[in-house]
Amino acid sequence: MDSETPAPESSLRVNFARAQRQLQTINKSELASSSVEYQSQAQALVKLLKTCTTQVDQLSLFSSNETPDDYSTSELKLLLVSAYLGEALQKLSASENRVAILEEAAASYKKFLLTAQLLGIVDKHAVDVEQLLTADSNASSDRSKASDPGRDRVQKIERFKKLRALQLSITELEAKLAGGDGAAGGKSNKEEDSDDDMEEVERDHAVKLIELKIYQVVDDLDILKGEMKMAQQMEEMKRRSAGNSEADGRSRPGPGALPDEASDGEWRLDSQAYHQIDPRTGRPSVRPVFNSKGQPTQPFVLTNSRQAIKDSVFRPGWALPTMTIDEYLKQEEERGGIISGGGKEPDAKPEIDDNDYEALDAETMKKREWDEFTDNNPRGAGNRGGNRG
């Protein structure tokens, strides 16, 4: 580093530390991602990270001729600026220029991966950076077709295990750094040795952070591809709808204006009498019903659709009743759909007086006789072989 430019480097480290704190605050925030406060924080973070990116580019910190050992720990952490910028851009929820934002985030991610690859930090066995950094869509599609699902699954499992191991290692290193920051007092030989150990722990922590971010960026790039396709489709649909609305506005004649011959079949109320309707588009077909000599060119049906369209202009969009309820019931009665009349209902069985002992005894004997009959003649007994030949 040049000793004549300490101020830009110092301000860069300060801005980078602020960006790290803001990113941690946003990631731990409980606000909805679509809220105004959340979006204002994300926009401020993007602005700060873009400033850091400009400062890194001006200082030309990273070069392919150097290795990670040639950089100090504070300089090595600045490699994460591009990755943090891509993550912050993903948090923006702008619907108008969503594709441009996603493309900028993907470019930041690829810049981070390319720099990490030039420095030799990327694990080539776990991350296929060449496939992610390629700009040839045909080559990438050919590779995706020739990829082996079993091999991809094994690679994902290995990446997941590596990711978990990195997270545990980073947690342990952060605990060591937190414990070392609290030490104070005069320095002895042992304390100087411990300071050297803390420097090694801090550097190991920076390298682990970069390795972890590489795995996260690879996953985020896969997510960005799908989101970018959906955003491009949405913008294409908006352009088509805007073009259709403009075309409809141009083709629709104003009040008192006479349409030209080209649009004659589209504005006429009785256009179906002159053209057949295409079932695929719902519009009149190009082929006319009559030729220039007035001879029919295809079968057609004469309908009074002009008057029907006129009558239905001011009608509601739902079906109206055609008769009253009384008229409907009368019509159903004439058709025989309503049953009425019938014989006289049987009289109710008189109740027996409790003081009429003879009637009570007779009713009791009648029930006993019926019980004996049902005991001697089970249900269905008359059908058991009685009609056999």
Spell out the residues 6+ positions from residue 367 whose beta carbon is closer than 8 angstroms to its own: none
Could you give the angle at which helices 81-90 and 98-118 cross, rounded to 10 degrees? Answer: 160
Spell out the residues 6+ positions from residue 327 whose beta carbon is closer than 8 angstroms to its own: none
Task: Say if residues 167 and 159 touch (Cβ distance below 8 Å).
Answer: no
Identify the pLDDT of residue 274: 42
Cα(213)–Cα(358) distance, integer angstroms = 104
Q: Encode the chain (389 residues) as per-residue pLDDT tens digits.
A: 444 444 455 588 899 889 989 998 998 888 888 888 999 999 999 999 999 999 888 888 888 778 888 888 888 888 899 999 999 998 888 767 888 889 999 999 999 988 888 888 876 545 556 666 564 444 444 544 556 788 778 877 887 888 888 888 888 888 888 876 555 444 555 555 566 678 888 888 888 888 888 888 888 888 888 888 888 888 888 888 777 666 555 555 554 454 444 444 444 444 444 445 555 555 555 566 777 777 887 776 776 677 777 777 877 778 888 899 999 999 998 888 887 766 677 777 788 888 888 999 999 999 999 999 999 888 877 766 555 54
Q: What is the dihedral of CA 15, 16, 22, 25, to 10 degrees?
A: -150
Identify the pLDDT of residue 46: 92
Identify the pLDDT of residue 73: 85
Q: 355: which 2 tokens?
A: 């003081």
Spell out the residues 6+ positions from residue 122 whose beta carbon is closer than 8 angstroms to its own: 113, 116, 129, 214
Identify the pLDDT of residue 258: 44
Identify the pLDDT of residue 252: 53
Identify the pLDDT of residue 50: 92
Task: Say if residues 48 and 19 touch (Cβ distance below 8 Å).
Answer: yes
Q: Could you tell me the end-to-end alpha-carbon distance of the chain, in angstroms, rounded to an integer?
A: 120
C-alpha to C-alpha distances, 218 to 105, 162, 215, 242, nearest whole angstrom? 12, 13, 5, 36
